Amino acid sequence: MNSKANEASRQSRVTLHGVAAAAGVSKSTVSRILDERLPRSESETAKRVRQIAEDLGYVRDLSAASLRRGSTMTIGVIVPRLTDTVMAMLYESLAKACSRAGRFAIVATTDDKPKADRLAAETLLKRGVDGLILSTAREDDNFPEELTNRGVPFVLALRTDGRSLSSVGDDKLGGYLATRHLLDLGHRRIGVIAGPSYASSSRGRVEGYKQALNEAGVTIDPAYIVPSTFGIDSGSEAAETLMRVEPRPTAIFAVNDNTAIGGLSGLARLGLSVPDDVSLVGYNDIPIVSHLATPLTTLRVPFDQIASNALDLLGRDIPNEDRIRVSAPTLIPRRSSGAVRRQ
């Protein structure tokens, strides 16, 4: 390190001025070379500036940069819980999308409770986040409308209220594909573990289920539609409920993988085999389901695409007809679904 660098290194906090003085270049040159959002230069000057900055222990002052830009480059993400693998996968995808855009994601969990959603949002906004991405939209809550009236930038992800900026999967298509798959295997008595009615994702998947049955000329039996939470225990209880219906279903579509895993457990307790006695289809393709003793047929949701779309929508003025971006799921057939056994 040269004498100028030694002098700068004695400062209590190394600044752009210090790096510039040590490197013998302008402050603006240093700022441009060290800005990670810009294409990385491999010129000799850039390499020398980066090396001097490292030797001096320079750390970028994010708060000062934020003041200059009028933003913190930080996004607040609100999810029901991170113990739900779906929500953890969404958050990881959002964090990656933020990183690519030079942003940082902060997450808060609320156990899917409207009061906790509001508290989490206030906390994140007080910390200066530039906007919110929420996966907690509910049919019975007007929180998105409240945020709109306050002028808070936000986007809904995975669930939508049908009006706000949203990035979601095509849940109706997914429910249709799951049910069509079972119909193609010869099943006509198809039950559905329907999830909670307050979530647009659940409602959309059930709508797709009904559409597929209607197209196939299969009468929809309300007894075959059992509500649940998104939890494993609830899925187990719902599967047992379905198996008490007469005549019992030969196949079950669970609107998420957690409830499908619960369904596997409930069916096993009843001494029923999957898929020999009952076929089963889940939704989301969380990592564990391909490694189960009976790998689960499911719908793969493009979380990375949903996250990228959500970040792209945030803070933008979008025409009404383009406010909801929809990403298509993909059917992943595995061993949990098989041809109907003639009874």
Query: How far, in Å, CA of 247 to CA of 130, rounded?
Result: 54
Percent of the chain residues topping a pLDDT of 90: 78
What is the pLDDT averaged over residues 124-136? 94
- For every residue of 81-147, DSSP letters joined together read -SSSHHHHHHHHHHHHHHHHTT-EEEEEE-TT-HHHHHHHHHHHHHTT-SEEEES---TT--HHHHH
Per-residue DSSP letter, 289:
G
3 state DSSP class of 275: coil
269-297 pLDDT, tens per residue?
A: 999 999 999 999 999 999 999 999 999 99
For residue 238, what are the contacts with CB-CB under 8 A and spacing of at least 6? 193, 194, 226, 227, 228, 254, 259, 262, 263, 266
pTM (2 decimals)?
Answer: 0.80
Query: How far, in Å, CA of 221 to CA of 160, rounded?
Result: 27
Q: Which residues of 56-90 are buried (b: 16+ CB within 10 A; e: fewer)?
A: bebeeeeeeeeeeeeebbbbbbbbbeeebbbbbbb
Query: How far, in Å, CA of 295 to CA of 336, rounded?
Result: 6
| Residue 299: pLDDT over 70 | yes
Q: In what order do the strands lie in the sheet with 279-281?
A: 225-226, 190-193, 251-254, 279-281
236-278 pLDDT, tens per residue?
A: 999 999 999 999 999 999 999 999 999 999 999 999 999 999 9
Strand partners, 253: 192, 281
